[in-house]
């Protein structure tokens, strides 16, 4: 069982079977939805406008639904250097959150960035650029 709270949309979720695929969502009250799997079993409960129903301190203590990665963890996950990821954050190509001294990226944001990234990468150095400044022999 997993409790999460997303402050951006003011929604609390209780996942009874984390990772289970939802087949159908039913509204059972004004701010309460339930998710059922393919066999009709309850897998999660979502409470909208959660701050109207629960204490703010209790909601703040819950996990965020998104998994945040440090740049070191994101580098291991993506195969890119942490410095490259930091540069992409500063260039506005990757969304990051500053927590103290560390930059954090949401796992789903990292994967979205990687999927839209140009697969060509840097061009290989040409013969002309490699020979700059070197004396030519004839």
Q: What angle do CA 73, 78, 79 make, to 5 degrees?
A: 100
What tens digit of pLDDT does each residue of 29-84 get?
Answer: 999 999 999 999 999 999 999 999 999 888 888 877 677 889 999 999 999 999 99
DSSP state of 125: P
Does the pTM of the predicted model rise above 0.75? no
Question: Domain coordinates of the chain in residue numbers?
Answer: 2-60, 68-116
Main-chain phi, psi angles of 71, to 5 degrees: -65, -30
- Assign 120 a pLDDT band (cuts: 50, 70, 90): low
Residue 24 predicted with pLDDT over 50: yes
- Assign 119 a pLDDT band (cuts: 50, 70, 90): low
Which has the higher per-residue pLDDT, 43 or 126?
A: 43
Average pLDDT, the chain: 83
Q: Which two tokens stand for residue 104?
A: 């954090």
Q: What is the pLDDT of residue 26?
A: 96
Q: What is the pLDDT of residue 95?
A: 87
Q: What angle do CA 123, 125, 128 make, to 5 degrees?
A: 130
Give the Cβ contact number of residue 107 at 10 Å. Answer: 14
- Cα 40 to the chain's mean position, in Å? 29
- Give the C-alpha separation, 97 to 66, whole Å: 13
């Amino acid at each position: 069982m997993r409790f999460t709270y997303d402050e951006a949309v003011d929604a609390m979720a209780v996942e009874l079977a984390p990772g289970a695929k939802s087949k159908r969502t039913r509204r059972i009250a004004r701010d309460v939805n339930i998710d059922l799997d393919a066999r009709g079993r309850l897998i999660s409960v979502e409470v909208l406008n959660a701050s109207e129903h629960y204490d703010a301190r209790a909601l703040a203590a819950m996990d965020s639904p998104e998994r945040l990665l440090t740049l070191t963890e994101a580098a291991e996950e993506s195969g890119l250097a942490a410095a490259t990821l930091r540069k992409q954050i500063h260039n506005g190509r990757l969304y990051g959150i500053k927590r103290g001294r560390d930059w954090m990226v949401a796992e789903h944001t990292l994967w979205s960035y990687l999927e839209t990234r140009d697969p060509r990468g840097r061009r290989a150095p040409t013969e002309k650029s490699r020979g700059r400044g070197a004396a030519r022999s004839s």
